[in-house]
Amino acid sequence: MLTKCKMSVLIHEQAKIYGNKTALSYRDYKSGTWVNISWIEFAKRVSLVSNALLHLGVEPQEKVAVFSQNMPECLCTDFGAYGIRAVTIPFYATSSEAQIKYMINDAAVRFVFVGEQYQYDTAFRVLKMCPTMQRLIIFSHDVVRNERDQVSLYFDEFMKLGEGEPYKEEVSKRSEEVELDDLANILYTSGTTGMSKGVMLTYRMYAAAIPANDKVLTLTDKDIVLNFLPFTHVFERAWSYWCLYVGAQLAVNRKPQDVLQSLQEVHPTCMCSVPRFWEKVYAGVQDKIASSSPMQRKLMLDALEVGRKYNVEYRLRGLVPPMHIRLKYKFYEKTIISLLKKKLGFERGNFFPTAGAAIPREVEEFVHSTGINMAAGYGLTESTATVSCDWENNVKTIGSVGRIIDGLEVKFGENNEILLRGDTITKGYYRKSEVTATTIDSEGWFHTGDSGYIKNGELFLTDRIKDLFKTSNGKYISPQAIESKLVVDRFIDEIAIIADTHKFVSALIIPEYHLLEDWAKENGVAYSSRADLCNNPKAVEMIMERINTLQQEFAHYEQIKRITLLPEPFSMERGELTNTLKIKRPVIAQNYKVQIEKMYEE
């Protein structure tokens, strides 16, 4: 049940209700154990942050930046800032010097909270280039400060500034003065096509989004939620706030690479993620099946097929499965499927929201076949995350992104572009009125840039309009549709479709290197280096054969004709990926110009 209160006092109100119940937990890497923080302790820390920020002179609606990986301190800082009407701006933990310099200067930030050594070093280096920046506050005590540093405080030193709550009355006054149209956050988009834009999120947007999600999905104070995506990501941020509003426990996964270990230690009931996570799970299970004995392989494949029939063909459609399928599924559910879910850490699952990109059909069917309740959805930073999602106890169609949540108006514009209007939609981009005017029209409709349609009450996405490629033959190609179909192959880790202005479709492929190397050994393909293996005609031919099998459903002009295997993954350092790991197509086109041109040689 949602606690009804302003976000500025949420943690304090929950502490009155839940007391010593665990609000947050996190892995202590020194002891190797998970540490619990009660609601009372959480509220105490939030209060100390509010008072310490007032000690530093933070004004109402002043911007405070948080440059960190996921840590409990991020949430304490957020809610401490909300308590005094300040605005928080989260930076991705992997942001570059140029990115944080731009954001700090754009928002005139005075105080930057940093997580670990990388964030501290990066922020300290830009100090002289950011005239407004006055102080760094460091979350981790393991950070070694620069010998020239005279402006930073460790978080515990900062918290001491709030001890005894010297500004208690002012905190209460400001908390009460928070208005729905006050800014809560500025979230800078990761920018696949150009300069980052600061999306303005108000309290009104959260106040509309959280109840709308709560109405269609059941989340309670009994749920244990693993935080996997960065709190900087609007999906994880809005989702986590909803969790806090219902009194659920947040288990903060501090390092993304540790998520599989955290799943097996925490056994969460919920976790929001992007399709890439499930693609990796799917590939891992397929790998396990492929390397099993013939008998084991047959049983696992049969279990998944029975699960598909039971869950996808019947349950998702609101139908009752026939008795023979029910009995067979019950057997597998107690044996193979149960073991699989337990191994992954999903055996206590309630539901698992998934959004942020297209979900490959094979992956979505696989997840549901195992009885894991994936709730597919669609949203943007500008819509406070959710636009649509799979509603509980409603028909769900594989390939849809669910039903539109309450409070949102939807219509379709030119090229079937999805247009949105409602309280969850941003009023615009910080200090960018011209960009805002091109995105939000005079009638208040936000133009998403995504095209789609509604069928039987469910939303289906078709294309990202800005991403459409036009070949030199005048044919339009949707790269995402092709990429999401092919990335399910266990030999393919990442793929970037090339087609714009070219006469046919080609692809740059990051193979699963260890699988490719195993294949080479098994097939007597000699190589001297990874680059040598990626250039080997037999390796290229093998991957191309697998692609040809998967792309049969595409029109001839959509099918990939040539590929290049790359010996190194795409990287953020080279500007090829955003902070949310989406590929930047213009940068890819530039960085791999030589390889691309070679694919189009006669």
pLDDT per residue as tens digits for the range 160-195: 999 999 999 999 999 999 999 999 999 998 654 456
Which of 368-371's residues contact partners 24+ apart within 8 Å by CB, and which partners? 368/307, 368/308, 368/311, 368/312, 368/316, 368/398, 369/304, 369/305, 369/307, 369/308, 369/311, 369/312, 370/304, 370/307, 370/337, 370/340, 370/341, 370/346, 371/307, 371/311, 371/333, 371/337, 371/341
240 and 283 co-located in one domain = no
In tens, the pLDDT along 340-362 reads 999 999 999 999 999 988 899 99
* Residue 590 pLDDT > 70: yes
Q: What is the DSSP letter of 310?
A: I
What residue type is 324 in one-letter code?
H
Same-domain check for residues 314 and 388: yes
| Residues 166, 25 share a domain | yes
Same domain, 242 and 127: yes
Other beta carbons within 10 angstroms of residue 255's beta carbon come to 14
How many whole angstroms separate alpha carbon 83 and alpha carbon 578? Answer: 32
pLDDT tens digits for 531-551?
Answer: 999 999 999 999 999 999 999
Q: Of 190 and 412, which is predicted with more confidence?
A: 412
Within this chain, do residues 452 and 540 fall inside the same structural domain, yes or no?
A: no
In-domain check, residue 201:
no
| Residue 325, pLDDT score | 97
The reply to whether 148 and 93 lie within a common domain is yes
- pLDDT for res 192: 47
pLDDT in tens, 113-163: 999 999 999 999 999 999 999 999 999 999 999 999 999 999 999 999 999
Instruction: Please list the alpha-helical segments (H only) found in 135-202.
Output: 155-160, 168-177
Lowest-confidence region among 88-97, 383-392, 552-561: 552-561
Nearest to 283 by CA among 70, 535, 510: 510
Higher pLDDT, 500 or 188: 188
Give the pair of three-digit tokens for residue 420: 């949105």
Is 526 within a domain? yes
One domain for residues 454 and 472: no
Last residue of a domain, one of 231, 266, 301: 266
CATH number for the domain including 493? 3.30.300.30
Percent of the chain exceeding pLDDT 70 equals 99
**Residue 386 belongs to a domain:** yes
Q: What is the mean pLDDT of the chain?
A: 94
Q: What is the mean pLDDT of residues 441-464?
A: 94
Q: If phi over 0 gives left and psi between -120 and 50 gives alpha, with beta otherwise, what is residue 418?
A: beta
Structure tokens at 94: 């992997």
Give the whole-number percent of the chain exceeding pLDDT 90.
Answer: 85
CATH of the domain at 47: 3.40.50.12780
Q: What is the mean pLDDT of residues 33-47?
A: 98
Domain extent, residue 541, equals 468-599
Q: Are residues 458 and 473 in the same domain?
A: no
Q: How many domains does the chain have?
A: 3
Q: Is there a domain that residue 208 lies in?
A: no
From residue 403, alpha-carbon distances to 16, 270, 391, 417 in Å are 35, 20, 7, 17
**Residue 289: its pLDDT value, please?**
92
Instruction: Say which residue the tokens 């894991």 belong to.
Output: 372
Q: What is the CATH number of the domain that holds 461?
A: 2.30.38.10
Instruction: Answer whether residue 186 is part of any domain.
Output: no
One domain, residues 76 and 99? yes
Regarding whether 498 and 446 lie in a shared domain, the answer is no
Indicate if 130 and 70 belong to the same structural domain. Answer: yes
- Phi and psi, residue 422, nearest 5°: 155, 180
For residues 448 and 551, state if they share a domain: no
**Radius of gyration of the CA atoms of the chain, in A:** 25
Residue 421 has pLDDT above 50, yes or no: yes
Establish if 290 belongs to a structural domain. Answer: yes
What is the CB-side half-sphere exposure of residue 440 using CA atoms within 13 A? 15
d(CA 253, CA 269): 14
Has residue 428 been placed in a domain?
Answer: no
Maximum separation of any 2 CA atoms in the chain, in Å: 76
pLDDT score at 107: 97
One-letter amino acid identity for 51?
A: N
**So what's the pLDDT on residue 475?**
77
pLDDT tens for each residue of 61-113: 999 999 999 999 999 999 999 999 999 999 999 888 988 999 999 999 999 99
In the prediction, which pLDDT does 195 show?
66
Q: Report which of residues 244 and 479 the model is more confident about.
A: 244
Span 261-278, mean pLDDT? 95
Residues 371-387, mean pLDDT to the nearest whole number:
97
pTM of the model: 0.88
pLDDT at 584 over 90: no
Contact 221, 247 (CB under 8 A): yes
Examine residue 203 and state whether it is found in any structural domain, yes or no: no
